[in-house]
Chain A
Amino acid sequence: MKTRHIVALIAGCTLYAAAAFGETQQTVLGGYSTQAGSSFTPSPDRGRSLFAANHSASADFPSCTKCHGSDPGASGKHAITGKTIAPMSARANPERFTDAAKTEKWFRRNCREVIGRECSAGEKADVLAYLIKGS
């Protein structure tokens, strides 16, 4: 009886947390985690490293932060065109990662441009874990 209550409480809290983060953000992140395999756990720290690291595919924008800025809670600026880019952190910008096709399109473009290859499902899950929860 008692354990059942606790289980219900935990389930309730998880649901509540998911709603607070925005259901679709969780679905988008969850989709990449599932693709990455059953033993995979997304890591905000790995995501942060990938986002800030200097890669070698582009001289104009060696890192994700070149356009998105080093603080995901603040606006970024496109490295070539100077256009303002809205904050990447889901907390600062609730519209982020609520459209799986949009998120996937930009991962494809930006990973190719910056890293020189597409990102793996695990890398995408890490980056989203960082931008949704860890920033």
Chain B
Amino acid sequence: MRRLACAGAALLAALASAPTLADSASIRVPADAPAAWKNECSSCHVAYPPQLLGKSSWHTVMKGLDKHFGSDASMAAADAKAITDFLDRYAPPDGGRHDAANGRITQTQWFKRKHREIPASALSSKEVRSAANCQACHSSAEKGVFSEHQLTPLGRRFED
């Protein structure tokens, strides 16, 4: 009986940490996010939760911080290491729908599927600026919440 309970708990834990979690609408920012991630990765845009991009894709991002999508996001090596370790803990494994060779979440299969009903022209319209500007449409993006029930007025306009 105790053995069964343990097996059940292990299964639940495995399910909870499985990459499919990112498919649910409630991706949360993990509680052990290091200060470097909170400070550095949220200064120019909302800090994208680690669950949104595959492991190797994150590595691509972290290796090119000096030429980061047209910006200079280089930082102290110790900070970059703490951030990479954190991303590694929660990133889905390679080979799934979260891969993007150029490190863009907005280019993943996963992102495209979630937004398949939104025309590309809307995602790059003047008000939104860029599909990567999650908080233009998702009111709780800073907490890592992207539920279709928590949209900004602008986001609601694109809802089906």
Interface residue total, chain B, C-beta cutoff 8 A: 17
A81–B129 Cα distance when bound, in Å, is 7
Which single residue of chain A is at the shortest CB-CB distance from B42?
Answer: A83
Is B130 touching A82 in the complex (CB atoms < 8 A)?
Answer: yes
Residues of B within 8 A of A109 (CB): 71-74
Among residues 94 to 136 in chain B, which have CB atoms less than 8 Å away from a CB atom of chain A?
Answer: 128-130, 132-133, 135-136
Contact B135 A80 (CB under 8 A): no
The secondary structure that dominates the A interface is loop
Q: Which chain A positions have C-beta within 8 A of B133?
A: 81-83
Check: B46 CB closer than 8 A to any chain A CB.
yes
Min Cβ gap A63→B in Å is 16
Q: Type the 1/0 row for A71-105, where 1 means its CB is closer than 8 Å to any CB of B.
A: 00000001011110000000000000000000001
Q: Which of B71, B130, B135 contacts A113 (CB 8 A)?
A: B71
The complex places the Cα of A108 from the Cα of B72 at a distance, in Å, of 9
Q: Is the CB of A81 within 8 A of B45?
A: yes
Q: Would you give the shortest CB distance from B54 to chain A, in whole angstroms?
A: 22
B90 to chain A: closest CB distance in Å? 22
Residue A60 CB within 8 A of the other chain:
yes
Residues of chain A at the chain B interface (Cβ within 8 Å): 60, 78, 80-83, 105, 108-109, 112-113
**Interface pairs A-B: 10 shortest CB-CB:** A81-B45, A109-B72, A82-B129, A82-B133, A83-B45, A81-B133, A112-B72, A78-B44, A81-B44, A113-B72
- Taking Cβ atoms with an 8 Å cutoff, the residues of B that contact A are 44-46, 69-75, 128-130, 132-133, 135-136
Q: Can you name 26 A-B residue pairings with CB atoms under 8 Å?
A: A78-B44, A78-B45, A80-B69, A80-B71, A80-B129, A80-B130, A81-B44, A81-B129, A81-B130, A81-B132, A81-B133, A82-B128, A82-B130, A82-B136, A83-B44, A83-B45, A83-B46, A83-B133, A83-B135, A105-B75, A109-B71, A109-B72, A109-B74, A112-B72, A113-B71, A113-B72
